A and B are shown apart, each in its own frame.
Chain A
Amino acid sequence: MNPLSLAPQPLSEAGTLLVCVLVLMVPLAIAGLALLNTGLGRSRSAAQSMLGSICILAVAAISYFAFGYAWEGYAGLPQHTVSIAGKPWGWLATGPFFLHGLPLDGSPASLAALLQIFGVALAALIPWGSGADRLRLRAGCLSTVLFAGLVYPLFAHWVWGGGWLAQLGANYGLGRGFADAAGAGTLQVLGGLTALTIVWIAGPRYGKFERGQQPAVFPGHHIVFVLLGSMLMLAGWIGLNGAGALLFAGIAPGTIVLVAVNTVLCASGSLLTAFFVTHYRFGKPDASLSANGWVAGLAASSAICASVTPAAALLIGMMLGGAIPLLTETLELRCGIDDPTGGISMHAGGGLWGLFALGFMGRFGVPVLGQLLAQLAGIATLLGFVLPLAYALNWLLNKLVAFHSGGEGERAGMDMYELGAGAYPEFVIYADEFLPR
């Protein structure tokens, strides 16, 4: 064990109050993502989707409380280290389980725990959305236990708990170390890559990919949910980015204005570019792909919110928004990824772009190459370590609890199959894709 020298600055009374308010805005992002996921799924799976969102929130919160925080820790708290070539590499925190001994009194460590209870629930909803219309509820919940209790704390410790990625600057001269103020990597990319593993393991929905045919289109059932959810997510994201930047990047409370402006500009640039790209490609703007652009912009903003100029945030968002419709299309048409919500492209794609862009546009007062290499090290860790780990864990889990509900679940709808009642019992509002046309 090695107590770290990366102890965070204590917060003033006003700073503590500000963080409290910002953290309590984060559940709006959870509600928004749940609405977006449900709206982009089928109407006959809507109740299962919303119930699953609440269950996943609950499972994530309990898992993180029980052992997630113990393994993640906080900068300045004790951790396990290994010495490699004379340099300490912190890899796991050594805190007690069940938040034992953590004074819940507004200290930075306690506020970080509260923020991450919500943050990890938000990230856990990403795979739930990507597995929509076929992922069983119990499989989603058990997968969340692994995510919130093991995969997330491990990587989050490396970034936010004073682990080796955070120490790359001090140990190897790589800028300020891997920077991720509000969870573009720890929440968004982690959630997006876990979603990819879920889709790989569960497979596509029946009828999505038929030999020799274009992939079938299963449109979302409620675009108003999708767009309302997207707007709610903005409020939640300002809370997430603001609280994250105060707690993990050590910004001054006044800088929260820059964080909010960058968050809005990045998302706005991304939305409008996605809007115009889809307008150009399809003749009319596509609402769901535009919403994907918006959320991808929010995901990218989590990396850059505290460290770039507003103009740079807008530019980063615009570049991302142009790419998101193409990435979503490529994943579906070229890679056979059946992701009803586009969660993989918007969260993993947006988060990765934000982390990379921060490397060359971030204002850290250090040489650009060093910071860029630190960001690449974090990205390489997400792809090369976290993705295989999440796949292995979910693959084993799938052997115990089958992820895919099978044909009956899809035909009857996940509502009837798992809950025995539909979300809209008085209306028949969908055309059955399984009927011959």
Chain B
Amino acid sequence: MKFTGFLLLLMGWFLVLAAIILLPRQGSRAAFMLAGIAVELLGLVLVTRTYMLENEVSQ
């Protein structure tokens, strides 16, 4: 799960890079960049949840 979380972080970054390189219009570029950052945040949540499970941290 932790590996998947870090993979999501990287994939989100690649999405942002792809938006910068491939999309010439600022509107569509902004939408894809925000999507990339959302994927990164998903990865961050996944890594955090895995850390909490590993350390038996109760909320």
Residues of B within 8 A of A377 (CB): 16, 20, 33
Task: Evaluate whether A212 and B59 lie within 8 angstroms (CB atoms) in the complex, with A174-B20, A381-B13, A384-B12 already known.
Answer: no
Chain A: interface residue total (CB-CB under 8 A): 36
Task: Evaluate whether A384 and B13 lie within 8 angstroms (CB atoms) in the complex, with A209-B56, A211-B58 already known.
Answer: yes
Residues of B within 8 A of A213 (CB): 58
A residues 345-396 near B (Cβ < 8 Å) are 367, 369-370, 372-373, 376-377, 379-381, 383-385, 387-388, 391-392
Asked if A85 contacts B33 (CB within 8 A), the reply is: no
A142 to B55, CA, bound (A): 24
Asked if A380 contacts B57 (CB within 8 A), the reply is: no
Q: Nearest CB to that of B37 among chain A residues?
A: A380
Number of A-B residue pairs having CB atoms within 8 Å of each other in the complex: 86
Task: Evaluate whether A376 and B33 lie within 8 angstroms (CB atoms) in the complex, with A383-B44, A384-B10 already known.
Answer: yes
Asked if B59 contacts A388 (CB within 8 A), the reply is: no
Asked if A212 contacts B37 (CB within 8 A), the reply is: no
Residues of B within 8 A of A87 (CB): 21
Residues of A within 8 A of B56 (CB): 209, 211
Asked if A385 contacts B26 (CB within 8 A), the reply is: no
A381 to B13, CA, bound (A): 6
Residues of A within 8 A of B37 (CB): 376, 379-380, 383
Q: How many whole Å from B31's CB to the nearest CB in chain A? A: 11
Interface string of B7-40 (1 = CB under 8 A from A): 0011111101000111000100110011011001
Please list the residues of chain A having a beta carbon within 8 angstroms of any beta carbon in chain B. 84-85, 87, 168, 172-174, 200, 203-204, 209-213, 333-336, 367, 369-370, 372-373, 376-377, 379-381, 383-385, 387-388, 391-392
Please list the residues of chain B having a beta carbon within 8 angstroms of any beta carbon in chain A. 6, 9-14, 16, 20-22, 26, 29-30, 33-34, 36-37, 40-41, 43-44, 47-48, 51-52, 55-59
